[in-house]
Amino acid sequence: MHGRVEAPHSNRRDFENLKKLTTYLWEYKGRVLLALACLMASKLAIVAVPLLLKEIVNALDTGVGTQVGTGAGSSDNIAVSVFDAFSGNDVMLVGLGLVGAYGLLRMLSAAFKELRDALFARVRYRAMHKLSTEVLTHLHNLSLSFHLDRHTGSITKDLSRGTNSLSSIVNLLVFNIVPTAAEFLLVAGILLGGYGWEYTLVVVGTVGIYIFFTLKFSGWRMQFRHEMNRLDSLSNGRAVDSLLNYETVKYFNNEQREIRAYDEHMEGWGDAGVRSQVTMSTLNFGQAAVVAVGVTIVMMLAIRDVAGGVISLGDIVLINALMLQLFVPLNVLGVVYRGLQYALADMDLVLKLLEREPEIQDKPKASALAITEARIEFKDVHFSYLEERPIIKGISFTVEPGTKVAVVGPSGAGKSTLSRLLFRFYDVNAGSVCIDGVDVRDCTQTSLRESLGVVPQDTVMFNDTIRYNLAYANPEASDERVFEAARRANLDDFIAQLPQGYDTIVGERGLKLSGGEKQRMAIARVVLKNPPIIVFDEATSSLDTRSEQAILVGMDAVAKRATSLVIAHRLSTVVDADQILVLDAGEIVERGTHESLLNSGGLYNDLWHMQLGNESANAT
């Protein structure tokens, strides 16, 4: 799933996507319509400019007539004729009036264009803001398994991709393609109305060939961009991953290997980039050639007609100006087209992501879980992460309200998985997990997780202060309660030693804290949250025996009224459990109290004596 998966052109649903896009824009339909009106006004003004120019030239031409060389329509001659125009008063007045109108039109055209952009800004930013919030919300709703499959780098890209693609599509369509098309129609209309089919045919033909060539050629060279993007996200993912694993990379002296892998991807990226540039230059040249040929033919027609006296000198100025005006925006068509392709591809990815159904969802009529006693029941639960490999194979047990049940067993037996099922990060394949008789699939996830607290096996922290991280469990808690929780988790001595105390930043993922400190932070969080059900997953595995004892006392105080499920490696921490489950390869192989399990002489008995042996060996 990682990296940018280029959606092949064929299975993209551009039309549906564009339709969806308009729903984001339509929220401000008044503004949108106003902006479109401005767009049309600006285009009318811009097309009127050459029309006026023609009038100016003609006015001067008749005024000073013979002085101007016939058959030449270049701007030099216009300048000459304007100077000459000052000889006749009437001509000058008309000319000046027209020139004034000309300036005004240019200004109006610019004013409408800027007004359009200003009006549209709110629509665009609002839509971007809405879409990116939606994407983030959705990413949070997607299941844990989705996120475990992904690279951090590519997830953050999804977010920016969504907003950027929306902005580009709007920019390109509203500010580029639609205005150009409108202008083209106006120009074609003027040519057809004023100068006959020959001109229209050449201009329409040139534009047609131009567009055809641009689209075909751009389509072909998309592959190089795709390759670039693919290698770019591969190398990006690799770089982010290697930096996230900074410590691991150093432990194994693998900097060279990481850099080599990155370097290889970047080399491929560079090659694809060069190919992309070369083909782009070819494209640009091809476009310029088509335009040059088209403009030349049109100007030849115009000169023929001026010479033949069919059209005036003003007309030639008009035609020339119209052509230039038309082809300038077309020049960027290739870029616009490519931009639109990328933006549509990105938009497609983001919208597909948004359509992706979260695997874990609240039922339509799910009600809030109301804890009455806090009894946990696992009833013949079967579960596997991957179909081929069952992890939990028919487990049943009950944790009575207010009691403590311990789960012990070898690594990989499925202990932490039980906790994930209780939190409903995954759904069971068969059987059920119930709290107070309510299946966890029947209540809302929010209410379920509100009732549960966990001290996880690996605690990760936000890169913020200790105070922030503790209060994360209960943002409304007063400072006093935060301090109290820290005291209960045996953290206060440690925090007191820190120069910045509670305002110390813990580093990315909490890496500036020791394992044991992080565990105590997690315990303090649970104290603050104070839920009726608590899961301790190896809560004290990173602590030395003395701190462990101190914390166990604190933990017991926290868990006194709560129902607790304690997962432990060190059996000495669970001797007081009301029931101990010995889990092996996804099955409960023994259950009972510490005494009864010792007496039965099974796996628990073996484990106990093994650990006892280790501890006494360590002691001597």
Ligand X SMILES: Nc1ncnc2c1ncn2[C@@H]1O[C@H](COP(=O)(O)OP(=O)(O)OP(=O)(O)O)[C@@H](O)[C@H]1O
203 binds ligand X (CB under 6 A): no
Kindly tell me which of 249 and 535 has the beta carbon lying closer to Mg ion.
535
Backbone angles phi, psi at 113, to 5 degrees: -65, -45
Q: Contact at 8 Å (CB) between 270 and 227?
A: no
The CA-CA-CA angle for residues 407, 413, 417, to 5°, reads: 75
Closest CA to 52 of 233, 317, 244: 317
| Interaction partner, residue 617 (Mg ion, ligand X, none; CB < 5-8 Å by kind) | none
Q: Cβ of residue 16: shortest distance to ligand X, in angstroms?
A: 33
Dist CA 164 CA 128 (whole Å): 8
| Selected range binding Mg ion among 367-375, 400-408, 416-424, 540-548, rule: CB under 5 A | 416-424
Closest CA to 43 of 110, 91, 132, 93: 110
180 binds Mg ion (CB under 5 A): no
Residues contacting ligand X: total by CB under 6 A: 13
385 binds ligand X (CB under 6 A): yes
540 binds Mg ion (CB under 5 A): no
Up-side HSE of residue 427: CA atoms within 13 Å toward CB? 14
Provide the total of helices (H) and of strands (E) in the chain, helices listed first. Answer: 21, 10
Q: Cβ of residue 420: shortest distance to ligand X, in angstroms?
A: 7
E strand or H helix at 489: none
The single-letter code of the amino acid at 578 is: D
Q: Going residue by residue from 444 to 473, which x/- string records binding to Mg ion, judged by CB under 5 A? A: -------------x----------------
Kindly tell me which of 148 and 619 has the beta carbon lying closer to Mg ion.
148
| Interaction partner, residue 412 (ligand X, Mg ion, none; CB < 5-8 Å by kind) | ligand X
SS3 breakdown of the chain: % helix, strand, coil, rounded to 5? 65, 10, 20
Q: Cβ of residue 463: shortest distance to ligand X, in angstroms?
A: 25
| DSSP reduced 3-state for 561 | coil
Dist CA 113 CA 118 (whole Å): 9
Helix axes 479-488, 515-529, angle to 10 degrees: 130
The CA-CA-CA angle for residues 612, 617, 619, to 5°, reads: 95
**CB-based contacts of 167: which residues, under 8 Å, 6+ apart?**
124, 128
236 binds ligand X (CB under 6 A): no
Kindly tell me which of 323 and 391 has the beta carbon lying closer to ligand X.
391
Dist CA 154 CA 254 (whole Å): 23
| Selected range binding Mg ion among 79-87, 356-364, 413-421, 610-618, rule: CB under 5 A | 413-421
Q: Going residue by residue from 99 to 138, which x/- string records binding to ligand X, judged by CB under 6 A? A: ----------------------------------------
| Interaction partner, residue 164 (ligand X, Mg ion, none; CB < 5-8 Å by kind) | none
Dist CA 326 CA 311 (whole Å): 21
Q: Which of 8, 66, 76, 148 binds ligand X (CB under 6 A)?
A: 148
386 binds ligand X (CB under 6 A): yes
Q: Cβ of residue 417: shortest distance to ligand X, in angstroms?
A: 3
Alpha-carbon radius of gyration of the chain: 37
Q: Contact at 8 Å (CB) between 229 and 268?
A: no
Q: Cβ of residue 569: shortest distance to ligand X, in angstroms?
A: 6
Q: Cβ of residue 416: shortest distance to ligand X, in angstroms?
A: 3
Query: If DSSP states are collapsed to H, E and C, what string results for 293-350?
Result: HHHHHHHHHHHHHHHCCCCCHHHHHHHHHHHHHHHHHHHCHHHHHHHHHHHHHHHHHH
Closest CA to 582 of 620, 563, 608: 608
Q: Which of 42, 218, 341, 416 binds Mg ion (CB under 5 A)?
A: 416
10 binds ligand X (CB under 6 A): no
Backbone angles phi, psi at 346, to 5 degrees: -65, -45
Kindly tell me which of 237 and 414 has the beta carbon lying closer to ligand X.
414
| Interaction partner, residue 148 (ligand X, Mg ion, none; CB < 5-8 Å by kind) | ligand X
334 binds ligand X (CB under 6 A): no
Parallel, antiparallel or unpaired: strands 563-567 and 579-584: unpaired
| Selected range binding Mg ion among 86-94, 335-343, 409-417, 476-484, rule: CB under 5 A | 409-417
Cβ burial, residue 300 (10 Å; 0-12/13-18/19+)? exposed
Kindly tell me which of 355 and 388 has the beta carbon lying closer to ligand X.
388
| Interaction partner, residue 66 (Mg ion, ligand X, none; CB < 5-8 Å by kind) | none
457 binds ligand X (CB under 6 A): yes
Q: Cβ of residue 415: shortest distance to Mg ion, in angstroms?
A: 5
Kindly tell me which of 458 and 484 has the beta carbon lying closer to ligand X.
458
Q: Cβ of residue 34: shortest distance to ligand X, in angstroms?
A: 52
Residue nearest to Mg ion (CB): 416
Q: Cβ of residue 150: shortest distance to Mg ion, in angstroms?
A: 22
391 binds ligand X (CB under 6 A): yes
Q: Cβ of residue 457: shortest distance to Mg ion, in angstroms?
A: 5
Q: Going residue by residue from 480 to 499, which x/- string records binding to Mg ion, judged by CB under 5 A? A: --------------------
Q: Where are the beta strands (DSSP E) in 361-468?
A: 376-386, 389-399, 404-408, 430-435, 438-439, 452-455
Q: Cβ of residue 368: shortest distance to ligand X, in angstroms?
A: 28
454 binds ligand X (CB under 6 A): no
Burial track 1-20 (b if 16+ CB lie within 10 A, e otherwise): ebbbebbeeeebebeebeee
Q: Cβ of residue 550: shortest distance to Mg ion, in angstroms?
A: 23
Q: Cβ of residue 583: shortest distance to Mg ion, in angstroms?
A: 10
Q: What are the CA-CA distances from residue 23 to residues 171, 315, 357 (Å)?
A: 16, 45, 21
Q: Going residue by residue from 403 to 442, which x/- string records binding to ligand X, judged by CB under 6 A? A: --------xxxxxxx-------------------------
| Interaction partner, residue 132 (ligand X, Mg ion, none; CB < 5-8 Å by kind) | none
What's CA 337's distance to the chain center, in Å? 23
Burial track 264-295 (b if 16+ CB lie within 10 A, e otherwise): ebbebbeebbebbeebbeebeeebeebbeebb
417 binds Mg ion (CB under 5 A): no
Residues near Mg ion (CB under 5 A) are: 416, 457
Residues near ligand X (CB under 6 A) are: 145, 148, 385-386, 391, 411-417, 457
